[in-house]
Amino acid sequence: MARVRADPVTTALAHPTRRALYIALSTKDEMSTVQLQTEVNVERYNLYHHLKKLASLNLVKNHRDAGRSRWWKKTSHVELPELLTSSNASSSPSSLVTDGDSSSLPESIAAGGEVHVINLEGSRDQIGAKRMLELLAKEHGIELDLPWNFLPASIALIAKKK
């Protein structure tokens, strides 16, 4: 699998847990380790692993200890692109296709075309899948402008009826 190379900050914030931690700290002046753990819903060991990575890049810091509590705050600002959410996305499959012949997609499904969904949630293959999509788009002359932090959760494959 090809490796995607980027600057360390981009790579660190592409990870969903680190991104969630950074966003949580961006919304408040400071948060304790327990508050972050609750907000992101991650095990304590993994939480410290991700906070250590963000701290090594000077994105966050443990700025005070009160008893056994560690308090964290954001130290550097990074512009994060707005993500597409279910509230502003249409549920129509054709609205999710931006290039190519999107008009044939609903007809292919309605005509009994085979649909296979590959679930990539939590898989290390998400970055490879993104790279594959970018290469396929380039090969077919499709302009695909994916955000830097796009990681596909699943891929739907649609075949025409035989």
CATH of the domain at 35: 1.10.10.10
Contact (Cβ atoms closer than 8 angstroms) between residue 78 and residue 13: yes
Residue 83 resides in a domain: no
Q: In terms of domains, do 65 and 97 share one?
A: no
Q: Is 126 strand, coil or helix?
A: helix
Rounded Cα distance, 151 and 130, in Å:
6
Q: In terms of domains, do 12 and 49 share one?
A: yes
Q: In terms of domains, do 14 and 69 share one?
A: yes
Domain that includes residue 28, residue range:
8-74
Rounded Cα distance, 78 and 70, in Å:
23
Contact (Cβ atoms closer than 8 angstroms) between residue 21 and residue 12: no
Residue 144 resides in a domain: yes
Residue 84 resides in a domain: no
Question: In this predicted structure, what is the pLDDT of residue 2?
Answer: 57
Question: In this predicted structure, what is the pLDDT of residue 103?
Answer: 52
* Count of the separate structural domains present in the chain: 2
pLDDT in tens, the chain (162 residues): 556 566 788 788 888 899 889 988 988 899 999 999 999 999 988 999 999 999 999 999 998 887 788 899 999 888 765 233 333 333 333 334 434 444 555 666 666 667 777 887 766 677 778 888 888 888 888 888 888 778 888 888 777 766
Q: In terms of domains, do 14 and 59 share one?
A: yes
Question: In this predicted structure, what is the pLDDT of residue 106?
Answer: 63
Question: In this predicted structure, what is the pLDDT of residue 158?
Answer: 77
Question: In this predicted structure, what is the pLDDT of residue 85?
Answer: 32
Q: In terms of domains, do 144 and 112 share one?
A: yes
Question: In this predicted structure, what is the pLDDT of residue 104?
Answer: 57
